[in-house]
Chains A and B, each alone.
Chain A
């Protein structure tokens, strides 16, 4: 018993040290950058309208992306959670492809479809929506790389809802639509919200796919990249700090909300 405990303890010690190492690897660069920033320069950066616009555009575009993603992603997530069909594994595999391919490559693939040389892009052009160098292009790029997070999370959420709850609902007189909105959706809501937060966060952090479709108008990551390329580290850092702080605040607030909801 004593010996066992000692072995476990040594293992735990090693794990704690290794765990600490990787944790610091995540935390130190972020903290260092925030701490190293000059408050005055930071203030100047906030007052810089170009910076403000870029950050707002990032937040806004990621939000629109999430709304579109929720609307289009939930039906598929529900189908994948409830229906067995041949090739389902393949479909599920494809949904996760955007996570694994290089995002610049994703941007080029999107440009092929949503550019004006393909009927999809042309059709949208006729409706007055262009994807090259526009907010719509940013949304499309963000949607492509972030939708897997929502679909996967919502699917897991729906799977956890006992099918018999839906069956009981039907026998009590609810139509399939009523059953979905009164039973399935409210019960999977937490997973959908968690997926939406991940999707929104992933959208904000996207750079590669966005610059292929829309270098302008500039989202915050593009602006950080441009300032780094043009003026160097000192000028890109305050923008990066601002974006990180903002994202952290929103992320923490939303995560707290989800956690809070779980407890009640």
Chain B
């Protein structure tokens, strides 16, 4: 659907070099990178808001590198929504159709369709500054969808939201995409967000694409230190959330069941931060619900702290301070118990 070929952009204090992307029709594509990696510049270059130094952008089999943004039919939603403050919600949504001089009938249809779809009918007469973050997000989405774009660009759409709203909006983005199958490029610095939403992920750093692959490829086979920094020092598992007969909720993955606290169900991911895992030579009697026996297979020495790989299986990466490490006399090949609370498991 959209292809970026050898794209280079030079802005006063910023450059992107040799960016290559290939996003299939209907795909949810994630660009993952740290703050300042040039993610926003890349999106704005795709819309045509920056002149390309070199390279090409193809959209649905046509080269659009030199076409003005208003003729590309690519919508963008910014992190802080950037709604037109002088227009009502309704006029924000209709902006794109009005400048295209669409008929009143089309305006009414699109407005009804989008306000039903996003559940914002009651907000139509309000001004943007009276809306909550989540509401603004929906209006910004409605405005972007109103022109039935060929590609939808989302620039950190979840970062400006509080954690609760973020989960809702994330779910909604997924559902919306499943319904409309609109080709989407979503930019984020959040690894878990990337895994939860993306069909494919491109990792962007230092103005370059470092790796492209499925979420599983990115977190199980990072191709560089840079990508690994995003992925490695985390325990991420793919599995299924199910309710057991005894009423507890478990995340079942690779033969083990993690007790978790979540309302989500189905095929998902779970992560445990290495610093939330306790290591002990004997089983621990504690309130933590998850405890497994495993073997230390690898130790990374980071000075004051050490990262242990404990093979249960699967492998868990655990963080231990130097002092504990010395007191317990741990070494590769030792049998240890790992323990963590149900609430330390993040399901997404």
Interface residues of A (CB under 8 A from B): 84, 162, 164-165, 167-175, 178, 182-183, 186-187
B70 touches A175 (CB 8 A): yes
Alpha-carbon gap, A167 to B48, bound state (A): 10
Given contacts A169-B95, A172-B99, A173-B96, contact A186 B86 (CB under 8 A): yes
> Is residue B143 contacting chain A, with contact meaning CB distance below 8 A?
yes
Give the nearest-CB partner of B40 in chain A. A164
From A165, A170, A178, A182, contact of B82 by CB (8 A): A165
- Among A164, A165, A183, A186, find the residue whose CB has the most chain B CB atoms closer than 10 A: A164
| A residues in contact with B31, CB < 8 Å | none
Instruction: Give the bracket for the number of chain B residues in contact with chain A.
Output: 20 to 34
- Counting chain B CB atoms within 10 Å of each CB, which of A167, A175, A178 scores highest? A167
13 further interface pairs, Cβ-Cβ under 8 Å (given A164-B78, A169-B99, A178-B99): A164-B82, A167-B76, A170-B68, A171-B70, A171-B76, A172-B70, A173-B70, A173-B73, A173-B147, A174-B70, A182-B95, A182-B99, A186-B86
Q: Give the residue name and chain of the A residue nearest to B82 (CB).
A: A164
List the B residue with the shortest CB-CB distance to A178.
B99
**How many inter-chain residue pairs (CB < 8 Å) link A and B?**
63
A-B contact pairs, 29 of them (CB 8 A): A84-B12, A164-B82, A165-B82, A165-B84, A167-B44, A167-B49, A168-B76, A168-B84, A168-B143, A169-B84, A169-B99, A170-B49, A170-B69, A171-B70, A171-B72, A172-B70, A172-B75, A172-B96, A172-B144, A172-B147, A173-B96, A173-B99, A173-B147, A174-B70, A174-B95, A175-B99, A186-B86, A187-B85, A187-B86
A-B pairs, 3 with minimum CB distance: A172-B96, A170-B69, A174-B99
The minimal Cβ–Cβ distance linking B49 to chain A, given in whole angstroms, is: 5
Task: Name the interface residues of B105-149: CB closer than 8 Å to any CB of A.
Answer: 143-144, 146-147
| Chain B residues closer than 8 Å to A172, beta-carbon distance | 70, 75, 95-96, 99, 143-144, 146-147
Q: Across the two chains, which residue of chain A brings its CB closest to B143?
A: A172
In whole angstroms, how far apart are the Cα atoms of A262 and B95 in the complex? Answer: 24
Chain B: CB-nearest residue to A170: B69
Interface flag for B291 (CB, 8 Å): no
Please state if B99 and A171 are interface contacts (CB–CB under 8 Å): no
Q: Does B32 make an interface contact (CB < 8 A)?
A: no
Q: How far is the CB of B114 from chain A (nearest CB, A)?
A: 13
B85 touches A171 (CB 8 A): no
Known interface pairs A167-B76, A171-B75; A162-B82 also in contact (CB < 8 Å): yes
Residue numbers in B under 8 Å from A174 (CB-CB):
70, 95-96, 99
Contacts of B49 in A (CB 8 A): 167, 170-171
Q: Is B188 an interface residue (CB 8 A)?
A: no
Please give the distance in Å from A262's CB to the nearest CB on chain B.
Answer: 13
Contacts of A173 in B (CB 8 A): 70-71, 73, 96, 99-100, 147
B74 at the interface (CB under 8 A from A): yes
Given contacts A164-B78, A178-B99, A182-B99, contact A171 B69 (CB under 8 A): yes
A161 nearest CB neighbor, chain B only: B85
**Cα(A186)–Cα(B86), bound, Å:** 8
B47 located at the interface, meaning its Cβ lies under 8 Å from any Cβ of chain A in the complex: yes
Q: For residues 80 through 109 of chain B, which have their beta carbon under 8 Å from a beta carbon of chain A?
A: 82, 84-86, 95-96, 99-100
Given the interface pairs A178-B99, A182-B99, the reply to whether A171 lies near B74 with Cβ below 8 Å is yes
Please measure, in the bound complex, the distance between the C-alpha atom of A172 and the C-alpha atom of B68, giving whole angstroms. Answer: 11
The complex places the Cα of A89 from the Cα of B145 at a distance, in Å, of: 41
Name the B residues within 8 Å of A186 (CB-CB): 86
Q: Give Cα distance in the complex from A165 to B86, angstroms.
A: 11
A162 to B147, CA, bound (A): 22
Residue on A nearest B76 in the bound complex, by CB: A171
Question: Which chain B residue lies CB-closest to A187?
Answer: B86
Contacts of A168 in B (CB 8 A): 76, 78, 82, 84, 143
Please give me the residue from chain A that is nearest to B74 by CB atom. A171
Question: How many angstroms between the C-alpha atoms of A178 and B69 in the bound complex?
Answer: 13
| Cα–Cα, bound, A242→B143 (Å) | 54
Contact with A along B40-75 (1 / 0, CB 8 A): 000010011100000000000000000011111111
Minimal Cβ-Cβ distance residue in B for A168: B82
* B76 CB contacts on chain A under 8 angstroms: 167-168, 171
